[in-house]
């Protein structure tokens, strides 16, 4: 796995100028990238709203075959324009490298019929069409009028998505029966009388003059989602493929899609197995410090039994998240990381859904809407263990995703808008966030043994899913060398969903409802889960190489500033950028 992950070490160089003080003149390559980004906002108006660009407050993209072809035509046009444009400096060279890698792969996936028909439990139009409402401002009558307009357009968006699914089915492309039925269940939940559309109607901020319009729009959205649920079950699922496993050839492309690097899945698999063993050994040593003679599970049980480490109810959870996040910003800003004023705003919220999972939504491009950390609490979950989730707050907030996104957005003096707001590669971004978790331990913020066990548990989760994700989708054998860590998975057998469930239950400390969400996620979103651990490995590697090269002159804050100012790049592009 080292061939594409060994980055050339940057020279120490002078101390970076304060963020926001550099003013590089825009170039022809910047113009190409910005035209591309603005074209994507036209093709995907809901994303324009998320990024804070006015003018498309009520619209959705065309999810159907025509919309997919229009996007591919625009990508091909942007690449052709880029090929005719000469880079003016190293920033341009990185931009061009990133555009060729990202857009080139998108076109290949389109040409091979591998895009446009995703159905899973976390990142598909099933969630996207509904999810845009989470980021819509809801304070003024004008903003509520925009919400009413977007609600009116939900049925057309759902219908275009259904056209894409039916078109893909006719070409032999479908998600698995399991994913389709699970998505139908999610659709039914969104459309329920307690779902997020119904919650909009009950929001006390709805202006009286718009209440009926909001109610009618929400009712239309609910009926559209019920129609989608029925179609998934009755039209798409019959005859759909039985397995989620995509095979090694497609998996290579999915891995590249998430990493921005070309890797051998089998090498990633072998590394994941060995790395999991290392983390288990580290946890076992810590468990004996928490409770003499205890196993890892025994130590976790002791932590769970400690009333000082438990929260009850979502109000307490949200307040705890906010307090911990605020404390991290206060402690890290200026001393360990560069954070301008707008970057220090981070809101913690309970999501209006019950899907499971914790996620981050970026600020608007002008920071008028702050970054937000969302917790989608599964139905029936009322008790939360702080020792498990302290590291998650650092992952989603500061120094994780919020610092990462905000640094790129604030670097308007050097980067074009596409680099700042439109470019996101999971291997870079999730790798940084997982790196940030370990970094907080190195900086002394996880001296509490329980919080450190939570961090190691999160690291173990990410290593375990490298093993399951690669092994399951590529049809590889369950590794016997993991021994007890297999948790009942059959050594030597080809990975099955059942083996994966047993294996994940052994290695991930989650309640069954949350773990079931994660298990379904890995099977329905191939190649994304390993991006966390592989990306983290690269971040640690390039930092250690930079430290060795700089010697006593190395300053960790400067290294982080230099790297984060590049924006979210594919790992191959990051390697290229650091070699210039």
Q: Each residue of 533-567: b (16+ CB within 10 Å) or e?
A: bbbbbbbeebbebbbeebeeeeeeebbbbbbbbbb
d(CA 460, CA 492): 22
The contacts of residue 130 (CB under 8 Å, 6+ apart) are 154, 190, 196, 197, 221, 225, 353
Which range is least confidently modeled, 290-299, 419-428, 469-478, 541-550? 541-550
Nearest to 417 by CA among 75, 43, 36: 36
Residue 21 binned pLDDT confidence (cut-offs 50, 70, 90): low
HEC string for 411-474: CCCCCCHHHHHHCCCHHHHHHHHHHHHHHHHHCCCCCCHHHHHHHHHHHHHHHHHHHHHHHHHH
Would you say residue 7 has pLDDT above 70?
A: no
Residue 513 binned pLDDT confidence (cut-offs 50, 70, 90): confident
pLDDT at 562: 87
Q: Does residue 567 sit in helix, strand or coil?
A: coil
- Element spanning 384, H or E: strand 383-385
pLDDT at 415: 95
- Element spanning 515, H or E: helix 512-524
Determine the distance from the C-alpha atom of residue 484 to the mean position of all C-alpha atoms in its chain, rounded to a whole number: 30
Q: Does residue 16 sit in helix, strand or coil?
A: coil
Strand partners, 374: 349, 359
**Stretch 243-272: mean pLDDT, rounded?**
96
d(CA 438, CA 400): 11
d(CA 287, CA 269): 27
Question: Cα–Cα distances in Å, from 39 out to 31, 42, 48, 150, 567?
Answer: 12, 5, 10, 20, 20
491 is written with which tokens? 């050594």
The contacts of residue 25 (CB under 8 Å, 6+ apart) are none
Residue 281 binned pLDDT confidence (cut-offs 50, 70, 90): very high
d(CA 244, CA 178): 8
d(CA 15, CA 419): 22
- Phi/psi-derived region of residue 260, left when phi > 0, alpha when psi is between -120 and 50, beta in every other case: left
Would you say residue 56 has pLDDT above 90?
A: no
Which range is least confidently modeled, 102-111, 428-437, 512-521? 512-521
Across all residues in the chain, what is the average pLDDT?
A: 93
Nearest to 256 by CA among 571, 578, 3: 571
178 is written with which tokens? 């399991």
Nearest to 494 by CA among 470, 480, 478, 479: 478
Would you say residue 15 has pLDDT above 90?
A: no
The contacts of residue 170 (CB under 8 Å, 6+ apart) are none
- For tokens 């911990």, what's the residue? 324
Nearest to 300 by CA among 314, 320, 284: 284
- Element spanning 371, H or E: strand 371-375
412 is written with which tokens? 């308007």
In DSSP notation, 103-143 reads HHHHHHHHHTT-SS----SSSSHHHHHHHGGGGS--SSHHH
d(CA 558, CA 415): 18
HEC string for 32-63: HHHHHHHHHHHHCHHHHHHHCCCCCCCCCCCC
Pairing of strands 358-361, 371-375: antiparallel
pLDDT at 546: 85
Would you say residue 523 has pLDDT above 50?
A: yes
Domain ranges within the chain, ordered by starting residue: 28-86+118-174+177-240
Dihedral (Cα; 424, 427, 433, 436), 10-degree rounding: -130
Q: What is the pLDDT of residues 79-111, one digit of tens each?
A: 999 999 999 999 999 999 999 999 999 999 999
Q: What is the pLDDT of residues 113-171, one digit of tens each?
A: 999 999 999 999 999 999 999 878 899 999 999 999 999 999 999 999 999 999 999 99
pLDDT at 380: 85
203 is written with which tokens? 């929001």
pLDDT at 17: 66
Would you say residue 453 has pLDDT above 60?
A: yes
- Element spanning 281, H or E: helix 265-290
pLDDT at 532: 94
In DSSP notation, 216-261 reads HHHHHHHHHHHHHHHHIIIIISTT--S-----HHHHHHHHHHHHSS
Would you say residue 22 has pLDDT above 80?
A: no
DSSP-assigned letter for residue 495: P
CB 537 within 8 A of CB 519: no
Residue 578 binned pLDDT confidence (cut-offs 50, 70, 90): confident
Q: Does residue 300 sit in helix, strand or coil?
A: helix
- Look up the pTM and report it: 0.88
């Amino acid at each position: 796995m080292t061939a594409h992950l060994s980055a050339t070490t940057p020279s120490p160089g002078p101390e970076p100028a304060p963020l926001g003080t550099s003013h590089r003149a825009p170039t022809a390559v910047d113009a190409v990238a910005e035209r591309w980004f603005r074209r994507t906002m036209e093709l995907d108006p809901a994303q324009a709203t998320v990024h804070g660009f006015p003018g498309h407050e009520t619209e959705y993209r065309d999810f159907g075959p025509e919309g997919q072809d229009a996007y591919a035509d625009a990508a091909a046009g942007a690449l052709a324009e880029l090929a005719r444009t000469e880079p003016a400096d190293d920033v341009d060279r990185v931009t061009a490298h990133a555009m060729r890698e990202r857009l080139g792969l998108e076109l290949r996936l389109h040409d091979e019929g591998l895009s446009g028909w995703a159905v899973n439990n976390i990142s598909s139009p099933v969630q996207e069409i509904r999810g845009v409402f989470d980021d819509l401002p809801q304070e003024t009558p004008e903003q509520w009028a925009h919400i009413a307009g977007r609600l009116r357009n939900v049925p057309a968006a759902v219908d275009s998505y259904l056209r894409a699914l039916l078109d893909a089915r006719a070409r032999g492309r479908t998600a698995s029966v399991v994913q389709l039925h699970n998505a139908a269940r999610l659709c039914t939940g969104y459309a329920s009388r307690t779902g997020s559309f119904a919650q909009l109607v009950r929001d006390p901020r709805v202006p009286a003059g718009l209440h009926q319009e909001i109610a009618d729009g929400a009712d239309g959205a609910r009926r559209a989602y019920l129609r989608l649920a029925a179609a998934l079950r009755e039209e798409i699922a019959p005859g759909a493929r039985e397995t989620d496993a995509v095979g090694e050839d497609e998996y290579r492309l999915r891995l590249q899609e998430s990493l921005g690097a070309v890797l051998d899945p089998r090498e990633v698999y072998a590394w994941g197995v060995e790395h999991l063993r290392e983390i288990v050994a580290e946890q076992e040593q810590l468990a004996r410090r928490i409770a003499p003679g205890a196993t890892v599970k025994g130590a976790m049980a002791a932590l769970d039994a400690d009333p000082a480490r438990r929260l009850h109810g979502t109000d307490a959870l949200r307040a705890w998240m906010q307090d911990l996040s605020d404390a991290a910003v206060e402690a890290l800003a200026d001393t360990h990381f560069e954070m301008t004023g707008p970057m220090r705003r981070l809101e913690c919220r309970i999501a209006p859904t019950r899907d499971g999972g914790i996620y981050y939504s970026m600020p608007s491009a002008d920071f008028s809407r702050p970054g937000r950390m969302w917790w989608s609490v599964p139905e029936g979950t009322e008790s939360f263990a702080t020792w498990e989730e302290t590291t998650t707050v650092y992952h989603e907030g500061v120094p994780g995703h919020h610092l990462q996104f905000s640094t790129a957005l604030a670097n308007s003096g050097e980067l074009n808008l596409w680099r700042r707001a439109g470019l996101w590669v999971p291997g870079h971004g999730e790798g940084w966030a997982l790196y940030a978790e370990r970094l907080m331990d190195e900086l002394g913020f996880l001296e509490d043994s329980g919080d450190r066990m939570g961090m190691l548990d999160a690291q173990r989760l990410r290593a375990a899913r490298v093993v399951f994700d690669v092994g399951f989708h590529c049809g590889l054998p369950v590794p016997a060398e993991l021994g007890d860590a297999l948790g009942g998975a059959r050594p030597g057998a080809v990975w099955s969903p059942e083996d994966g469930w047993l294996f994940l239950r052994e290695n991930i400390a989650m309640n069954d409802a949350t773990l079931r969400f994660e298990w379904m996620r890995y099977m329905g979103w191939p190649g994304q889960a390993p991006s966390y651990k592989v990306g983290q490995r690269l971040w640690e590697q390039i930092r250690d190489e930079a430290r060795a090269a700089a010697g006593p002159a190395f300053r960790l804050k400067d290294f982080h500033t230099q790297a984060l100012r590049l924006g979210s790049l594919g790992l191959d592009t990051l390697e290229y950028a650091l070699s210039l």
